[in-house]
Every structure is written in C-alpha cells, then in structure tokens.
Amino acid sequence: MNTEEFRVEYPESMEAITKRHYVDDYYDSADTIEEAVNRAKEVKYIHLQGGFLIRNWMSNSDMFLEKLGERSTDAAKHFNRDKSTEYERVLGIVWQPVEDVFCFATASKADYRTVLQGDERATKRIVLSYVMAQFEPLGFLASVVALGKMLVQDLWRTGCEWDEQIDDVSFKKWQRWIQLLRNIESFRIGRSYFGYAKSNEIQDVQLHIFADASETAYGCIAYFRAIVQGEVRCTLVMSRSKVASLKQLSFPRLELLAAVLGARLKQTVIENHNFPISKVMYWIDADVVLSWIRSDQRRYKQFVGFRIDQLTKWGKSSELTSDCVWVQAPTFLYTPDAVWPKMELPPANTTEELRVHLLLHNILVPEIFTDARNFSKWTVIVRTMASVLRFISNCRRKTKKMPIETLKATARQENAGADPEKHFAGGPKFQF
C-alpha cells in the first residue's frame, strides 16, 4: 500500500520495489552509476515514508556506495546463511562484489567432517542429510546436484538401513561426488549475463531451452543468446533437474517429463526478466515426444494427454569449470542459425501410448446337445435344436408356474385337427 502512493511520482522505483524485493532484501541493477544512485535514493525514500529503513547496501561499484553514503567494503555477501547455526549451508551462494561473480561455499556441520574426509564410511542417513541440505535455486550446479540425488535413490534400491554404512559401489559414487563438491569451490559464474554491456548494446535476445532424459533422471537448461556489440554471446540462465521415480517409466515418458519441465522453465524465465526476448527455441531430440506434441492429446493415455546428457547421467564431463559447455552453452549457438542442426519433424499421431478402448460383452455359449454330423440337412438340425431349446425353456417356465411357449399351427396341422379320420385314413387312429 505504501508504494501505491508513489506510483505517479516515482513509477520506475515503485515497480522496482514491487518486483525486485525478496522478503526484506532488494536486488536491482542499472546501466550507469547515476541511474543506480537515483533509483536507490528513491527506493530508500519510499520505504522511509512507510516507516521502513533500508540499509546495508552492497554493490560492485565503490562510487555507488560512496554517493549513497555507505561504507566501501570488499566483504562477500552470503545469500543463504543459516541464521540459526554457525555453519554455512551446503552449496551456499556467495556474491563477490569486487569480481562481480557468484561462487559457492561447501562448508558443513562438524559432524560430517570425518565422513567427508574419508576417515569414516557414510551411512544412508548422512548421505541423505548432506544431499538434501543443498540449496541452489537457480540450478547453476544442477549437473552436480542431480548426481547426489541419483546416489540417494540408488541407496533406496539397495534396501540399506538408515544407520547402516553404504555398500562398496555406493561408497565409490559417494567419494566421486564429494570430490565434485570440493572442486566447485573454485567455480565462478558472472552475476551479469553480458558483462558490463549496457541495455542499448544488447540486441536480438533469444531464449534456448534444452531438455533431455536418461533412465535415472531428466532435466532442462536455459540459455540466453544475444548480439552484444556486434558479437554473439551466450550465457547460462538457470536449469532444473529431477530424478526418475522408483517406479519404472518408459523412456518416451521420461523424455516427455523433460519437455514439460522445459516449458515451465521457459515461463519462469520470461516472467522474471524485463527485457524483450525476440525468439524462444526448444531443443528436444525425442521423436515420440515431438509426435505427441503435434497430435490430438485425446488420442493418448492420460499421462501423455496432460503433461543434456551432462544433466541426467554420470559422465566424464561432470566437473564444472567457468568455460565448460554447461556454462557457455553448446558451441553451435555461436554460429549463424542457418547452420544450426536441424531434424525433420516426425509425423503426428504416433501409435506410442495410444488410449485403449475396451468393449465388454457377455456371451452365453450353449452346451452342445448333439453332433451335427448326424444330420443331413442344415434346416433339419436348426429345427431340431430349436425344438430341444424350446422344450428346455418350457420345462423351466413350468417349474416357475409360467405359461409355456407354443407355436402357431400350420394349415396342415389345422386340417388334421379338424378331420382326423380323413387325415389318417388308411392308418390307425390315435386318441389325444
């Protein structure tokens, strides 16, 4: 309500407060120091009118801090320090203002020290606690985090008890994963997508979403591709990863989950950036999924109707560096789009995962009363079977005291009934 009073007087600062606050922290950026200082002063003023004092400013510019009356500092900002403990959460995001980069701290509880150093083998409880303690919302380290989640899932499959030491195979994966965590302490990624380029120097911003799946995990990653001062630049935006469920899923279904995750990631990226995106492209190599997307969803099972190798499996390239493909994007994005890899779209209406329609019928098969080979004519056997079935039906009706079924007499039968002596002339007489 406080910001609404300044919508006309300070429209840009009002929008900044509304969209760039996270709880009691304010994050923003500007092209010039003058623009940053003016906006910061307006934000402070608006907050002060509501009785809120915003302080402890940090910036990659000492001049900005000086003009704002804040002390110049080289201290790093820990974005997710656990205030209830004296230790840093695993993979805590740290901003180094001087270098203007994000880095990651891996300090943890003292109880885990012997396990992390290899002096003691971890239990399932420790592995789960250590993996799930990670907090890295942008997914910069998703390729490493996903491996830890896969390890936890493997432990569930082995049936290992909570306080039982993990087996040899899992222990080797655990040691390898811990080494990857140690290595990310030297990993750096720039806070700014395109360095110190100003907004008017950035043109044709494209969003590229890559989605992939394996038998154990699926995920997606987003990159910005832009022309900056006449040069093609690509940068990692964010990523998402999930492990496959313990219940076995088909590979096309996992690929579909990855595609859905990519669509949601695209929406998140667009909603949280204020510069125009000229084009959005999805990169998926699953023919079945592409066919599903182009087809009528009502033809398929409910799972289909409603819903990066490095990201989804253990590999030699799991280690993160500032110049690896994971951060810098695939090399083909730096080339003209005319030479990008192209794949002919598969035809729509694939038969994979088609919805099944079941029609149930009750069929009564009568018992065989006689051998058809004993009859010379089809009409004779039909009449005989009809008489037998009528006799059975009449017997059942009689037991229920219901009227029996009768047939209308033929002309010959009627004549015989009217003059039996004439009909049976020359033969014996019967009395009915």
**Bridge partner residues of 354 (DSSP):** 300
H-assigned helices in 204-278:
251-271
> Whole-model pTM?
0.74
- pLDDT tens per residue, range 194-244: 988 999 999 999 999 999 998 889 999 999 999 999 999 999 999 999 999
- pLDDT tens per residue, range 112-124: 778 887 778 999 9
Predicted pLDDT at 239: 95
Mean pLDDT of 408-421: 66
- Parallel/antiparallel/unpaired status of strands 217-228 and 92-96: unpaired
The candidate with the shortest Cα–Cα distance to 173, out of 154, 159, 158, 157, is 154
Residue 246 φ then ψ, to 5° = -65, -30
Task: Kindly calculate the radius of gyration of the chain based on its CA atoms and give it in whole angstroms.
Answer: 39
Q: Is the pLDDT of residue 403 over 90?
A: no
- pLDDT tens per residue, range 333-358: 999 999 998 877 777 767 666 665 56
Torsion of CA 42, 47, 53, 55, to 10 degrees: -40
Mean pLDDT of 142-163: 91
Residue 238: strand, helix, or coil: strand
Mean pLDDT of 276-294: 85
Predicted pLDDT at 81: 56
Predicted pLDDT at 373: 80
Residue 63 φ then ψ, to 5° = -65, -40
- pLDDT tens per residue, range 6-46: 989 999 999 999 888 888 889 899 999 999 999 999 999 99
Residue 202 φ then ψ, to 5° = -110, 120
- pLDDT tens per residue, range 59-77: 999 899 999 988 766 677 7
Residue 361: strand, helix, or coil: coil
- pLDDT tens per residue, range 351-392: 666 665 566 667 776 666 677 788 888 888 888 888 888 888
Tell me the residue length of the chain: 432
User: Structure tokens of 127?
Assistant: 């592995």
Predicted pLDDT at 286: 80
Mean pLDDT of 287-303: 70
Least confident span in 146-155, 233-242, 280-289: 280-289
Question: Mean pLDDT across the chain, nearest whole number?
Answer: 82
Quick one: how far is CA 352 from the chain centroid?
20
Cβ contact 242:147 at 8 Å: no
Q: Label residue 283 exposed, middle or buried (CB < 10 Å: 0-12, 13-18, 19+).
A: buried
Rounded Cα gap, residues 123 and 432, in angstroms? 98
Mean pLDDT of 282-295: 80
Cβ contact 40:68 at 8 Å: yes
User: What is the b/e burial string over 243-258, where b = at least 16 CB atoms within 10 angstroms of the residue's CB?
Assistant: bbeeeebeebbbbbbb
Residue 224 φ then ψ, to 5° = -95, 135
Q: Is the pLDDT of residue 282 over 90?
A: yes
Predicted pLDDT at 400: 87
